[in-house]
Amino acid sequence: MISFNSDYLEGCTAEILDALNKTNLEQTEGYGLDKHSERARELIKRKIGRSDVDIHFVSGGTQANLLTLSVLLSPYQSVISADSGHIAIHETGSIETTGHQVIRVKNDDGKLNAEDVLEIVRAAEEDYTARPGAVYISESTESGTIYSLDELKALRKVTKDNGIALFIDGARLAYALESTKADFTLRDIADLSDAFYIGGTKCGALFGEAIVICSDKYKKDFRKAMKARGAMLAKGRILGIQFETLFTDDLYFRLAREANRKADEIKNAFKAHGIRLYADSYTNQQFVVLSDAQAEKIKENFSFEVWGKEGDETIARFCTSWATGEDAVNALKDAIKTL
Amino acid sequence: MISFNSDYLEGCTAEILDALNKTNLEQTEGYGLDKHSERARELIKRKIGRSDVDIHFVSGGTQANLLTLSVLLSPYQSVISADSGHIAIHETGSIETTGHQVIRVKNDDGKLNAEDVLEIVRAAEEDYTARPGAVYISESTESGTIYSLDELKALRKVTKDNGIALFIDGARLAYALESTKADFTLRDIADLSDAFYIGGTKCGALFGEAIVICSDKYKKDFRKAMKARGAMLAKGRILGIQFETLFTDDLYFRLAREANRKADEIKNAFKAHGIRLYADSYTNQQFVVLSDAQAEKIKENFSFEVWGKEGDETIARFCTSWATGEDAVNALKDAIKTL
Amino acid sequence: MISFNSDYLEGCTAEILDALNKTNLEQTEGYGLDKHSERARELIKRKIGRSDVDIHFVSGGTQANLLTLSVLLSPYQSVISADSGHIAIHETGSIETTGHQVIRVKNDDGKLNAEDVLEIVRAAEEDYTARPGAVYISESTESGTIYSLDELKALRKVTKDNGIALFIDGARLAYALESTKADFTLRDIADLSDAFYIGGTKCGALFGEAIVICSDKYKKDFRKAMKARGAMLAKGRILGIQFETLFTDDLYFRLAREANRKADEIKNAFKAHGIRLYADSYTNQQFVVLSDAQAEKIKENFSFEVWGKEGDETIARFCTSWATGEDAVNALKDAIKTL
Amino acid sequence: MISFNSDYLEGCTAEILDALNKTNLEQTEGYGLDKHSERARELIKRKIGRSDVDIHFVSGGTQANLLTLSVLLSPYQSVISADSGHIAIHETGSIETTGHQVIRVKNDDGKLNAEDVLEIVRAAEEDYTARPGAVYISESTESGTIYSLDELKALRKVTKDNGIALFIDGARLAYALESTKADFTLRDIADLSDAFYIGGTKCGALFGEAIVICSDKYKKDFRKAMKARGAMLAKGRILGIQFETLFTDDLYFRLAREANRKADEIKNAFKAHGIRLYADSYTNQQFVVLSDAQAEKIKENFSFEVWGKEGDETIARFCTSWATGEDAVNALKDAIKTL
């Protein structure tokens, strides 16, 4: 059985294990103040092309989201998200747990658009409506799609015009940046948002995300916020070493490029066989619509994520990652031909 | 420069790195439902001698504390802690962030006693006083001391009599259990508390703590609470593999025993040289009172944690761990003789 | 200009002012422990027909909602509400401020139905979904409609079967109970819910609501919760005196009956003139669909609440209350005839 | 039995009841936007001598404290209070319920001093310490004492220098301002704080406090915060009418002056009889130390608040208010002579 269920099925890219092995007996300071974390920060800043951002490493995506949004939002403010957004439906009410309302907007192919944001902002003048303080988007989205540079700029404009923070969930940022359709750079992401995070867990690391604070007003006491949320690792170096490795020789990006290429092959195999795409993704997540019979057939040798059911059809998600073998892809392609 | 600053200076015990290497390409389910996490749970339950506890792995101690207490406490309830407790002074108000008051009680050698708890509980009948819902203690304490079995039983009695939960922070539980003065077992810890955690970060793991829920009433939906607090690792196996390793062949306990033995040698060296102990610790943390001149002298080749200052004396903490070398201990012992 | 905008335009029924005058110089205990509050509790219990409920007086509806729900919900639980519910859209995210998610369900004439609740409860098994801990409904609803006894029983069944609390917002409970279509009693409300409140602010009082806790498990420390939320009035007697007055000689119900009767007359005048009802209300709130021209015409002498716009039509709300004069109703009826 | 237990034993000053009667049938806008609330705001601003402050009316002191502090504090910040402060010990953990730590500092005659504040601020640089975001003081204090102008200026300086908000709980501000020892004005209070409140409940009103926001940065969306905390009264006019009355012809201040004068007489009677003062108060609360025998003797005809016990002595609080009769004072004075 070969699994294409997710991009966090295996451990991590070999280079990270090597680095953990090599550095294991070094004695370092705790709480992310060690030299590996510092070097990782430097490498990331260099890649972004800005030295004026603050970088903090945390252990997972939900943590990155709730921690950063709790800093971006003033008391009593709400956050706007697509109704398909991770914070809207996959995080057990974590944002509400921090005391903030999530305003869920009907998504368009996994995305939120600037017009909808503006409409909500305008409707919030009444005393009985919470004030939106941040917009949350994912790049790439939960549907595998990506925001174009123009879409990002439109969201930046509407948020800036209205004094609202823009936060980008980059759990799969590597795949977005390396998508053949991407017309934006890592620098654009930094310049167009107040904060974002660079996902490690789903892009080659054992675990870990790098939160990047781009706007000065949210920098002070972020480490205190981390500590208060239980998000500051005692041996912060474990996260530093991983990002140091991923940002050496562009490993992070090379892994994503390969995964995207494999996802593309799988997509093309489905298309060639006349199977309908559920979303037109150019990243590592591919969504296709299978008849229940086809789904059953594939399940004999492969597993995938059932994203939904529509009558007697199954919406299936196939993910690739740094760990997806060429053999696995070829086997799946062969199986597709037999459907 | 050899550091005795803390017990989280290095990476992790070699067996864990081996296990991570060996399992790296396995494809497993996420979120702690994988076979390694399951096996780790089994091994821990076996060691406790109870199959009716629930076990959850999280990435750090502050997270374990705030998550578990937020489940143990009903809305509006407070938690009682020694004023030296980790949640009282070292976690940036994390408990208050979850909406609960921490009632700080003057500590006695790092410990909280049952009489003081009873007094606070009795004073809480007034409408204007928050109801204590839990007692928080650490075993071993922040001063390296340990609660005796009788002290634990007294706390269990006062909490049970008053319908209050007892939570034990086990960041350094291994050292407490392996202390030559310990008169309690892991089973006692489980039987005398509603929940506790088995610390990994400071006892040989890369990172991670195993929360053990002992009382049925707190078991339901704990995973939802974990997710909501950003405490559920996507690749939960990383935690599972570590605890699977630590609880194979009693590695966890052997590491602590060794560290305690080395701490004992250091303590005896200080005592033999006439240097006063700040606390009478039989675990891996030793606190001594140095003249400023002595402190300066040691700092030439060793680093330690400055715990406080009293006039022209320095309270110094020396920690050992799985990673403390015999050479380092001998070098420190030699240096002590020259003070 | 005569206003029909809301049912809280004036002060209070004359009997309450009399009672405040008469009792003004009495010296009483604070915080709701005075004899007037005690007597008000007795009168309400007698009217309900149950002596085993707890009653607490607070100053407003949003406060009653957020306080009671924060007690009914365990940590991390969500509350289910119609998307037209007061907590869903008119309270500035107050429930989220207390750390709980509000799950908004498409309303059916202002109401929530048991099938939709069940569906949400079933979908909440996944770890990434918050567990619903309470259902919130209003009787009468924000649309002036009322739940029938069967509907209430169905909601009670689905909540009880699933271990969920049922909370009834009774801001306008008097009008619901006195509706000509009501097939339930105050006793039914108490027997079918875990907690509800009897609205004073919109039903004749200066301000104030009486929260009734019907299920034992939510009774303990409710006063502490009140105090912690700033909901315990120092001179609690001010609330006690009002409810003592309202529940003497059925004043509360008589006021509502009269207001309903007047609302009915207004409704019939609109119907007789061929004007469409927006909702089929038998309580003190009437919603009609006016052409913009009709709306402008009425506005010359009357004010009403604009509930929404549909093309060139205006949805208008007309409210009656204890203070609505017979003259005002007749003047409005005359005006309707000229539309 | 004549009670001197507190300053909220009776209803309200007659002028307020008159105003409520006179205005009862006026139809006004809700939520504090009515003409009486507007006029009350104008009168208060005129009395302060500043037109650039924002004023909001809420129903009680705990509500005023938790609401205002939750706006003054950024996420994760703590508030510093004397350990005798109302928020520290008399509000059931309400501030913690909003997610903020209260740092309790040993009081000096009910007061907090600038040096202690500075020390805490300096100690908060460590990551594991919450950042103080506000200082909370009461004028007059819970011990009846008052801060001098110099003390207020010192607190203003230390808070301003460190970017911290200063909040003054004015539950008994009238008594402080009218104290014979007061060397500050209402304008000073406004100029030296970021926000404060003018207490109504304990100074002649039925209930209600007027929150004054003095610093621009906390003004935006305060009404939304009020609504979210359940602190916005539907019939806001009830509060507006009360403050309109109290600030007409200086009624508020005249009532306090009289109460202070009576308290002074009582104090002098105790002193003349050789009974020790527990605190040297020049406001409406007097604290004396009675032998248990004396306490029993007084209790035959008078009641007072037992503030504490010291061996066989009772610390007794005697309060006066607008409602304290000349006869009651004389009777107490006579009784004191017989002790």
Tokens of C208: 């104030």
Q: Are A130 and D228 in contact (CB under 8 A)?
A: yes
Distance CA D214, CA D219 (A): 8
Distance CA D300, CA D296 (A): 7
**Distance, in angstroms, between B65 CA and closest chain A CA?**
9
> What is the Cβ-side half-sphere exposure of residue D27, based on CA atoms within 13 angstroms?
18
Flag if B230 and A63 touch (Cβ within 8 Å): yes
Flag if B129 and D92 touch (Cβ within 8 Å): yes
Sole residue written with tokens 């890369």: B206
Of C31, C128, C129, the CB nearest to B127: C31
Distance CA D214, CA D52 (A): 7
pLDDT value for B234: 97
SS3 string, chain B, reads CEECCCCCCCCCCHHHHHHHHHHCCCCCCCCCCCHHHHHHHHHHHHHHCCCCCEEEEECCHHHHHHHHHHHHCCCCCEEEEECCCHHHHCCCCHHHHCCCCEEEECCECCECCHHHHHHHHHHHHCCCCCCEEEEEEECCCCCCCCCCHHHHHHHHHHHHHCCCEEEEECCCHHHHHCCCCCCCCHHHHHHHCCEEEEECCCCCCCCCEEEEECCHHHCCCHHHHHHHCCCCCCCCHHHHHHHHHHCCCCHHHHHHHHHHHHHHHHHHHHHHCCCEECCCCCCCEEEEEEEHHHHHHHHCCEECEEEEEECCEEEEEEECCCCCCHHHHHHHHHHHHCC
Flag if B230 and A9 touch (Cβ within 8 Å): no
Please state the rounded mean pLDDT for residues A282-288.
Answer: 97
Please state the rounded mean pLDDT for residues B35-40.
Answer: 98
- Nearest residue to B198 (alpha-carbon basis) of B13, B33, B58, B319: B58
CB contacts of C78 in chain A (<8 Å) are: 93, 96
pLDDT category, A208, cuts 50, 70, 90?
A: very high
CB contacts of A25 in chain B (<8 Å) are: 10-11, 323
pLDDT value for B264: 97
Partnered with residue D266 across adjacent β-strands are none
Tokens of C281: 């209300």
Please state the rounded mean pLDDT for residues D303-332.
Answer: 95
A64 contact partners, CB below 8 Å, separation of at least 6: A58, A169, A197, A209, A211, B230
Please state the rounded mean pLDDT for residues A293-312.
Answer: 94
Q: Cα–Cα–Cα angle for A110, A114, A117, nearest 5°?
A: 90
B38 contact partners, CB below 8 Å, separation of at least 6: B240
* CB count in 10 Å sphere of residue C92: 29
Q: Are D263 and D318 in contact (CB under 8 A)?
A: yes
Region label for D57, one of left (φ > 0), alpha (ψ between -120 and 50) or beta (otherwise): beta
In angstroms and rounded to an integer, the radius of gyration of the C-alpha atoms of chain C is 20
SS3 string, chain A, reads CEECCCCCCCCCCHHHHHHHHHHCCCCCCCCCCCHHHHHHHHHHHHHHCCCCCEEEEECCHHHHHHHHHHHHCCCCEEEEEECCCHHHHCCCCHHHHCCCCEEEECCECCECCHHHHHHHHHHHHCCCCCEEEEEEEECCCCCCCCCCHHHHHHHHHHHHHCCCEEEEECCCHHHHHCCCCCCCCHHHHHHHCCEEEEECCCCCCCCCEEEEECCHHHCCCHHHHHHHCCCCCCCCHHHHHHHHHHCCCCHHHHHHHHHHHHHHHHHHHHHHCCCEECCCCCCCEEEEEEEHHHHHHHHCCEECEEEEEECCEEEEEEECCCCCCHHHHHHHHHHHHCC
- Nearest residue to D130 (alpha-carbon basis) of D85, D66, D172, D80: D80
Asked if A6 is an interface residue toward chain C (Cβ–Cβ < 8 A), one would say: no
Asked if C308 is an interface residue toward chain A (Cβ–Cβ < 8 A), one would say: no
Interface of C with B in 230-289 (CB under 8 A): 232
Please write the tens of the pLDDT for every residue from B222-261.
999 999 999 999 999 999 999 999 999 999 999 999 999 9
pLDDT value for B227: 98
pLDDT category, A283, cuts 50, 70, 90?
A: very high
C-alpha dihedral sign at B145, B150, B154, B157: positive
User: Taking all residues of chain B, what is their mean pLDDT, rounded to a whole number?
Assistant: 97
pTM: 0.97
Please write the tens of the pLDDT for every residue from B173-225.
999 999 999 999 999 999 999 999 999 999 999 999 999 999 999 999 999 99
C-alpha dihedral sign at C127, C128, C129, C130: positive
- From first to last of its 339 residues, chain C has per-residue pLDDT tens of 899 999 999 999 999 999 999 999 999 999 999 999 999 999 999 999 999 999 999 999 999 999 999 999 999 999 999 999 999 999 999 999 999 999 999 999 999 999 999 999 999 999 999 999 999 999 999 999 999 999 999 999 999 999 999 999 999 999 999 999 999 999 999 999 999 999 999 999 999 999 999 999 999 999 999 999 999 999 999 999 999 999 999 999 999 999 999 999 999 999 999 999 998 899 999 999 999 999 999 999 999 999 999 899 999 999 999 999 999 999 999 999 999
**Distance, in angstroms, between A9 CA and closest chain B CA?**
5
Flag if B90 and D130 touch (Cβ within 8 Å): no
Q: Would you give the distance in Å from CA A151 to the centre of its chain?
A: 17
pLDDT value for C147: 98
Q: What is the ipTM of this complex?
A: 0.97
Distance CA B62, CA C115 (A): 41
Give the chain A residue whose CA is nearest to the CA of B95.
A228
Tokens of C261: 């009767």
Position C254: which residue type? R
Asked if B60 is an interface residue toward chain A (Cβ–Cβ < 8 A), one would say: yes
pLDDT value for C63: 98
Interface of D with C in 138-197 (CB under 8 A): none
Flag if A75 and D76 touch (Cβ within 8 Å): no
Tokens of B137: 């203690």
Give the chain B residue whose CA is nearest to the CA of C71.
B75
pLDDT value for C58: 98
Give the chain A residue whose CA is nearest to the CA of C74.
A97
Sole residue written with tokens 């049912």: C7
Flag if D96 and B92 touch (Cβ within 8 Å): no
Residues of chain D above pLDDT 90, percent: 98
Distance CA C67, CA B86 (A): 31
Distance CA D199, CA A61 (A): 46
Position A237: which residue type? R
- Nearest residue to D258 (alpha-carbon basis) of D304, D309, D326, D211: D326
pLDDT value for A102: 98
Q: Which chains have at least 3 CB atom pairs separated by less than 8 Å from chain C?
A: A, B, D
pLDDT value for D87: 97
Q: Are C226 and C30 in contact (CB under 8 A)?
A: no
Flag if A75 and D225 touch (Cβ within 8 Å): yes
Flag if A76 and C91 touch (Cβ within 8 Å): no
Q: Cα–Cα–Cα angle for D160, D165, D171, nearest 5°?
A: 125
Q: Are A201 and A58 in contact (CB under 8 A)?
A: no
Of D76, D224, D232, the CB nearest to A228: D76
pLDDT value for D148: 98
C-alpha dihedral sign at D161, D162, D163, D166: negative
- Nearest residue to D110 (alpha-carbon basis) of D78, D80, D137: D137
